[in-house]
């Protein structure tokens, strides 16, 4: 066997092993062999997982690098990077010791089985019942992992766990008329057992709060190491300078747009006017999102922006357990192994006075481009076309950079190109520039939670509740918030370089398709893949 074939064998063996050890994640991806299993959460299992990753590193090192093809070498680097990042997360970031969000884990294990019609409902409900029955065991294991809980994350976990019993009751209620009486009784019994465990989880979390600490920052050294492992070609200080420069630029552009839209008005007045124009009920909010998803998909096809792949995207209300961290909207990872690629575009309904204003008419089209077409949903189902070696890699400068790039690129090519849409887009640019600054300073321990909230309110015009939800998520995901604007910057840089290299022969649709079908890999590999696609 040549090196590419040896890599393929190692990857297949490793992926099979990884999915068997992470059944909830496997279900989300559409690998259904383990749908009735709930993850082993024991410390012993975690040690086995770490050893498995290290053994895979050693096996990969035995494969001769010089024997790879050009694409095989990319696949090798991406696969190695995936392993290195998993080990870094488990051994250095150690979120399993600090984040007690058991409710989020349970919700993530149930939601895809409930929402996605990949199998008859009887079969899916049987798997849900099995997972519910395993919740007490998983909770006992989970507790032993959490040795250094972060206070903020514990508070969020309390909010999250309170949303799961409602999801369980919804599943039981909806399934009653669709499954056998025997299975429904099993579901009710399993649901009661799981709900009791979740009530115990809330009590445990409240006790954890008494001793939880406030230290969630990754620290400057580990943050720099994280950027290097992700193959980001800039140091945090350089990214910070980029963010500050973009913030100044976009604020100037917003001032100019304000004068165009309403001479003499302030930026805040225009923002308030736009946010006052929103659907009148949350049902209308959901319907408006659905309409714009369809319009965006049609526009991508009609304008040859990219190749639209088959998939089924549902716009639904954000489940309760996710609401503390998703103030507006998000995409739940599509099932790339299913014959039909299912995905959920979740839209949040919060019980506060700003709720409908967050879903204002001028902002919804941009959000649909970002989350659905040609953004996250299309790019994520495109991963099914990428080599298996790239499956577990999720480089956020490509994932979020692509979705954010699409927001501006579609407007520039005529999709919903109005002054109001450009104003909303420029607000988003300012928000993402502020995110770079906040992410780096939070992660390096140079900014407090409250300072970050105040910056989002001042620079991005967010209400306090949304800003707090945003920053709460930032503390858990160092390096994620900066990926939007940095990724857009890197993608635009790659596009400009290829346009210069190929001149009139440059094919924009092919460039977009290359990104969509590449898998979520570092942006630095995209030019090489583009060149290979035209050979």
Residues in CB range of 498: below 8 A, 6 or more apart:
506, 511, 527, 530
Instruction: Tell whether 499 is covered by a domain.
Output: no
For residues 80 and 173, membership in a common domain is answered with yes
Low-confidence residues of the chain, pLDDT below 50? Answer: none
320 and 173 belong to one structural domain = no
Final residue of a domain: which of 176, 208, 240? 208
> CA–CA separation, 533 vs 518, rounded Å?
11
Burial class (CB in 10 A: 0-12, 13-18, 19+), 91: exposed
> CA torsion angle for 430, 432, 437, 439 (degrees, to 10)?
150
Residue pair 478/218 in contact by the 8 Å Cβ criterion? yes
Same domain, 202 and 111: yes
Residues linked to residue 313 through DSSP beta bridges, in sequence order: 343
For residue 128, is it within any domain? yes
> From CA 332, how far away is CA 272, in angstroms rounded?
30
Containing structural domain, residue 7: 3-208
Bridge partners, 343 (sequence order): 313
Domain co-membership, 160 together with 78:
yes
Res 321: pLDDT: 86
Do the Cβ atoms of 481 and 236 come closer than 8 Å? no
Q: How far apart are CA 26 and CA 8, in angstroms?
A: 19
Do the domain assignments include residue 529?
no
Contact in structure between 81 and 398 (CB atoms under 8 Å): no
Q: What are phi and psi of 490, to 5 degrees?
A: -70, -40
Indicate if 196 and 291 belong to the same structural domain.
no
Spell out the alpha helix ranges (H) of 116-235. 121-133, 135-145, 151-161, 164-175, 181-208, 220-229
Q: Quick one: which of 204, 129, 124, 125 has its CA closest to 161?
A: 204
d(CA 367, CA 290): 11
Q: Tell which of 208, 231, 246 closes a domain.
A: 208
Please tell me the pTM assigned to this model. Answer: 0.94
Dihedral in degrees, nearest 10, Cα atoms 344, 345, 346, 348: -170
**Alpha-helical regions (H) of 372-478:** 376-382, 396-412, 419-443, 449-460, 464-476
Cβ atoms 456, 439 nearer than 8 A: no
CB distance 315 to 364 below 8 Å: no
Angle at 368 between CA 364 and CA 370, to 5 degrees: 115
pLDDT at position 355: 87
Structure tokens at 377: 């949903």
DSSP state for residue 242 in the 8-state scheme: H
Asked if residue 513 belongs to a domain, the reply is: no
Q: Which of 33, 189, 195, 31 is nearest to 106 (CA)?
A: 195
Alpha helices (runs of H) in 62-119, residue ranges in sequence order: 70-88, 95-98, 102-115
Pair (275, 358) in one structural domain:
yes
pLDDT of residue 333: 84
Residue 21, both tokens: 């050890």
Judge whether 533 lies within some domain. no
d(CA 324, CA 111): 17
The tokens for 126 are 């049987």
Is the residue at 399 inside a domain?
Answer: yes
| Same-domain pairing of 132 and 243 | no
By three-state DSSP, how is residue 229 classified? helix
Asked whether residue 197 falls in the same domain as residue 227, the answer is no
Residue 279 near residue 348, CB atoms below 8 Å: no
Hey, what are 350's tokens?
A: 């919060």
Residues 193 and 115 in one domain: yes
Q: What pLDDT was estimated at residue 353?
A: 73
Contact 55, 40 (CB under 8 A): no
Last residue of a domain, which of 208, 240, 268? 208
pLDDT in tens, 329-356: 999 988 989 999 999 999 999 877 788 9
Tokens 């189902």 sit on residue:
381
Measured CA to CA, the distance from residue 235 to residue 224 in angstroms comes to 7
The answer on 250 and 119 residing in a single domain is no
| Same domain (yes/no): 252, 175 | no
- Residue 318, CA distances (Å) to 286, 344, 468, 474, 496 in order: 11, 9, 18, 19, 38
As a whole number of angstroms, the distance between CA 512 and CA 233 comes to 21
Tokens of 272: 């308030």
pLDDT on residue 324:
84
Q: pLDDT tens digits, residue range 174-209?
A: 999 999 999 999 999 999 999 999 999 999 999 999
Number of domains the chain contains: 2
Residue 481 has a pLDDT of 98
- Tell me what pLDDT residue 151 has: 97
In a domain, 512, yes or no: no
Local structure of residue 334 (DSSP, 8 states) = P
Look at residue 124 and give its three-state secondary structure. helix
In a domain, 532, yes or no: no
Report the half-sphere exposure of 263 (CA within 13 A, side-chain side). Answer: 0
Q: What is the spatial distance between Cα 332 and Cα 343, in angstroms, rounded to a whole number?
A: 6
Question: Are residues 160 and 247 located together in one domain of the fold?
Answer: no
């Amino acid at each position: 066997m040549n090196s590419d074939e040896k890599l393929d064998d190692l990857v297949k063996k490793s992926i099979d092993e990884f999915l068997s050890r992470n059944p909830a994640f496997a279900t989300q991806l559409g690998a259904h062999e383990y749908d009735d299993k709930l993850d082993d959460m024991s410390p012993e299992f975690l040690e086995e997982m770490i050893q498995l990753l290290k053994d895979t590193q050693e096996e990969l090192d035995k494969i001769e690098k010089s024997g790879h093809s050009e694409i095989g070498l990319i696949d090798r680097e991406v696969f190695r990077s995936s392993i290195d990042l998993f080990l870094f997360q488990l051994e250095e970031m150690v979120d399993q010791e600090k984040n007690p969000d058991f409710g989020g884990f349970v919700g993530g294990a149930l939601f895809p089985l409930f929402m996605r019609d990949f199998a008859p409902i009887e079969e899916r409900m049987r798997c849900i019942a099995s997972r519910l029955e395993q919740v007490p065991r998983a909770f006992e294991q989970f507790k032993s992992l959490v040795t250094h809980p972060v206070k903020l994350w514990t508070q969020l976990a309390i909010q999250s766990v309170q949303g799961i019993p409602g999801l369980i009751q919804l599943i039981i209620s909806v399934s009653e008329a669709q499954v056998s009486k025997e299975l429904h009784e099993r579901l009710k019994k399993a649901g009661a057992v799981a709900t009791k465990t979740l009530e115990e989880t809330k009590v445990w979390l409240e006790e954890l709060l008494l001793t939880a600490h406030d230290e969630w920052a990754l620290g400057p050294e580990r943050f720099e190491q994280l950027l290097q492992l992700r193959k980001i070609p800039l140091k945090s200080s350089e990214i910070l300078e980029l963010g500050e420069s973009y913030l100044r630029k976009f604020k100037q552009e917003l001032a100019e747009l304000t004068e165009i839209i309403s001479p003499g008005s302030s930026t805040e007045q225009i923002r308030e006017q736009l946010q006052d124009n929103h659907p009148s009920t949350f049902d209308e909010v959901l319907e408006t999102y659905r309409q714009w998803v369809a319009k965006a998909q049609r526009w991508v096809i009609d304008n040859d922006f990219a190749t639209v792949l088959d998939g089924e995207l549902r716009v639904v209300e954000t489940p309760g357990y996710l609401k503390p961290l998703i103030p507006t909207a998000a995409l739940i990872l599509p099932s790339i192994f299913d014959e039909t690629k299912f995905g959920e575009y979740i839209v949040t309904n919060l019980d506060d006075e700003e709720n409908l204003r967050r879903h204002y008419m001028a902002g919804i089209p941009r959000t649909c481009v970002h989350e659905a077409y040609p953004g996250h949903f299309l790019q994520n189902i495109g991963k099914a076309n990428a080599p298996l070696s790239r499956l577990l890699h999720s480089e956020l400068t490509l994932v979020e950079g692509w979705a954010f790039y699409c927001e501006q690129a579609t407007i520039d090519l005529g999709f919903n190109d109005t002054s109001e849409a450009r104003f909303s887009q420029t607000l988003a640019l300012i928000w993402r520039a502020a995110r770079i600054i906040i992410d780096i300073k939070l992660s390096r321990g140079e900014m407090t939670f409250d300072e970050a909230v105040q910056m989002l309110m001042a620079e991005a015009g967010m209400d306090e509740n949304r800003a707090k939800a945003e920053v709460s998520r930032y503390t858990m995901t160092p390096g994620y918030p900066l990926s939007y604007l940095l990724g857009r910057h890197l993608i635009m840089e790659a596009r400009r370089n290829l346009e210069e290299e190929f001149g009139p022969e440059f094919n924009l649709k092919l460039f977009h398709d290359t990104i969509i079908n590449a898998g979520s890999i570092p942006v630095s590999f995209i030019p090489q893949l583009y060149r290979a696609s035209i050979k």
